[in-house]
Structure 1
Amino acid sequence: MAVSSKKKKIALKAVFSLAFIYVLFSFVQGNQLLLMFQRINWFYLSLSLLLTPVMIAVSCCKWMMILNAGQNNVPFLTLFRIYLIGYFFSNMLPSTVGGDVVRSYYTGKIIQDQSYSAIAIFIERFSGIFFLFLLVLFAPLVKPSLYLSPFVFVPVIASLILTLSTLWMAKVKKPFVFADVIVASGLKVFRKTMVLFGRKDPQVFIGTIEDHYKAFIQRLEKLHLKVVQAFETIFKDKILFLKLTFVTALFYLLTWVNVSLALLAFGVNHQFSDICALVPTILFVAHFPVTILGNLGFFESVFVFYLLLVDIPGNGSLAMGLLLRMKMLLIGIVGFYVYLVYKHATGDDAKQLGAVDEKKHLSSDVKKESPENDSC
Structure 2
Amino acid sequence: MPELRREKSSNVAVEEHPTLETEQPASTPPAPSGNGVRSSIASYLWKLSFSILLFVAALHWVDYGELRTITAHPHPSYLFAYILLMFIDRVVMAYKWGLLLEAVGFKRRLGELTLIYYKGTFIGNLLPTSLGGDAIRTYEVVKRGGPFETAVSSIVMERFVGFLSAAILALAGLLLAVPLGLETPVQILLPLGIAFGLGIACLMTVLLGGEFLQRRPGLFGKLPLARKLVKIATSVSGFRSHPGVLYRFFLWSLGEQLLPIVIMYALARGLNLDIPARHLLCIIPVTQFLARIPVSLSGIGLQESVLMGFMSLAGIHPTAAFVLGVGSNIGAILNGLPGAYFYLTDTQRKRR
Which TM-score band (shorter chain)? Answer: 0.7 to 0.9
2:57 alignment counterpart: 23
| C-alpha distance 271-5 of structure 1, shift in aligned 2 (>3 A) | same
Is contact 1:134-1:163 (8 Å) kept?
no
2:46 alignment counterpart: 12
Is contact 1:146-1:152 (8 Å) kept?
no
Q: How does 1:225-240 map to 2 (within 5 A)?
A: 230=236, 232-233=238-239, 235-240=240-245
Q: Which amino acid aligns with 1:300?
A: E
Is contact 1:278-1:306 (8 Å) kept?
yes
Structure of higher RCO (CA pairs closer than 8 Å, 6+ residues apart): 1
Q: Which amino acid aligns with 2:91?
A: A
CA distance in 2, matches of 1:25, 1:316: 12
Q: 2:193 aligns with which of 157, 160, 166?
A: 157
Q: Which amino acid aligns with 2:346?
A: Y
| Alignment of 1:139 onto 2:173 | yes
2:322 alignment counterpart: 318
2:141 alignment counterpart: 107
CA distance in 2, matches of 1:337, 1:171: 37
1:286 alignment counterpart: 291
Q: TM-score, normalised by structure 1?
A: 0.71
Is contact 2:150-2:235 (8 Å) kept?
no
Q: How does 1:99-248 map to 2 (within 5 A)?
A: 99-144=133-178, 148-150=184-186, 152-166=188-202, 169=205, 230=236, 232-233=238-239, 235-248=240-253
Is contact 2:83-2:335 (8 Å) kept?
no
Is contact 1:136-1:159 (8 Å) kept?
no
2:279 alignment counterpart: 274
Moved more, 75-84 or 163-172: 163-172
Q: How does 1:250-261 map to 2 (within 5 A)?
A: 250-261=255-266
Question: How well do the aligned residues superpose, as a CA RMSD in angstroms?
Answer: 3.2
User: 5+ unaligned residues in a row in structure 2: which ranges?
Assistant: 1-34, 211-224
Is contact 1:282-1:303 (8 Å) kept?
yes
Q: TM-score, normalised by structure 2?
A: 0.75
| Equivalences, count | 302
| Alignment of 1:79 onto 2:113 | yes
CA distance in 2, matches of 1:111, 1:55: 27
| C-alpha distance 226-306 of structure 1, shift in aligned 2 (>3 A) | farther
Q: CA deviation at 1:150?
A: 4.2
| Alignment of 1:333 onto 2:337 | yes
1:208 alignment counterpart: none
User: 5+ unaligned residues in a row in structure 1: which ranges?
Assistant: 175-218, 348-376
Is contact 1:106-1:344 (8 Å) kept?
no
Q: CA deviation at 1:124?
A: 1.8
| C-alpha distance 336-111 of structure 1, shift in aligned 2 (>3 A) | same
